[in-house]
């Protein structure tokens, strides 16, 4: 279906259910490239759950989603590479060290150990933090 490529985000019947609780119910959404779109609603309306499904942080119970023409479920790594996401609240695990959090983030992008270490070192250097972070080698 070539038409999926014309949308930045496309969902068909996207649903997430937690036990008996229905968090997102059959969401059909189509957002063209270059458009801004806001998800507004009260707490519990399914906004965060929708974002989590679109960014592969949780899987849909049913339905389909595409980001930049790629099926989210089938291409999770490419989906995460195409999406920039900034959380309202810190996504860091405060029980983990900075290095452990960075390694966890690298694992989300399927970087192997060598790629992760190289990228982490580069980023620590860019931000002038290499001397401040204890590395777990």
Which of 33, 92, 86 lies closest to 55, judged by CA?
86
The mean of the pLDDT values for the chain is 85
The answer to whether residues 24 and 6 belong to one domain is yes
According to the model, what pLDDT value does residue 130 have? 74
Which of 55, 103, 93 lies closest to 77, judged by CA?
55
- Three-class DSSP labels, 33-66: CCCCCCCCCCCCCCHHHHHHHHCCCCCCCEEEEE
With a cut of 70, say whether residue 9 has pLDDT above it: yes
How far apart CA 130 and CA 58 sit, in angstroms, is: 32
According to the model, what pLDDT value does residue 36 have? 86
Residue 125 tokens read as 């250097």
Q: Is 21 helix (H, G, I), strand (E, B) or coil?
A: strand
The answer to whether residues 63 and 22 belong to one domain is yes
Domain that holds residue 46: 2-82
CATH code for the domain of 6: 3.40.50.300
The answer to whether residues 130 and 99 belong to one domain is yes
Q: Is 88 helix (H, G, I), strand (E, B) or coil?
A: coil
The answer to whether residues 72 and 94 belong to one domain is no
The answer to whether residues 94 and 77 belong to one domain is no
Confidence of residue 102 (pLDDT cuts 50, 70, 90): confident
Contact, 108 vs 80, CB < 8 A? yes
The answer to whether residues 113 and 72 belong to one domain is no
How many domains are contained in the chain? 2
The answer to whether residues 18 and 39 belong to one domain is yes
Which of 107, 94, 102, 95 lies closest to 130, judged by CA?
102
The predicted-structure confidence for 106-131, as pLDDT tens digits, reads as follows 887 778 889 999 998 888 888 887 76
According to the model, what pLDDT value does residue 12 have? 97
The answer to whether residues 71 and 111 belong to one domain is no
Which of 23, 64, 65 lies closest to 44, judged by CA?
23
How far apart CA 60 and CA 51 sit, in angstroms, is: 11
- Higher-scoring residue by pLDDT: 90, 33: 33
| Unique residue bearing structure tokens 């937690």 | 18
Boundary-marking domain end, from 82, 114, 129: 82
The answer to whether residues 17 and 68 belong to one domain is yes
The answer to whether residues 61 and 20 belong to one domain is yes
With a cut of 60, say whether residue 4 has pLDDT above it: yes
According to the model, what pLDDT value does residue 93 have? 67
The answer to whether residues 7 and 26 belong to one domain is yes
The answer to whether residues 13 and 75 belong to one domain is yes
The predicted-structure confidence for 62-99, as pLDDT tens digits, reads as follows 999 999 899 999 998 888 888 876 666 566 667 777 77
């Amino acid at each position: 279906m070539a038409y999926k490529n014309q949308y930045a985000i496309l969902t068909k019947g996207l649903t997430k259910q937690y036990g008996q609780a229905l968090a997102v119910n059959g969401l059909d959404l189509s957002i063209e490239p270059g458009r801004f779109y806001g998800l507004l609603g009260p707490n519990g309306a399914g906004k965060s759950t929708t974002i989590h499904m679109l960014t592969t942080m949780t899987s849909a119970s049913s339905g389909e989603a595409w980001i930049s023409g790629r099926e989210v479920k089938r291409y999770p790594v490419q989906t995460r590479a195409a999406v920039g996401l900034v959380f309202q609240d810190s996504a860091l695990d405060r029980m983990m060290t900075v290095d452990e959090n960075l390694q966890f983030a690298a694992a989300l992008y399927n970087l192997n150990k060598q790629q992760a270490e190289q990228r982490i070192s580069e980023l620590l250097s860019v931000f002038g933090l290499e001397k401040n972070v204890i590395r777990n080698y």
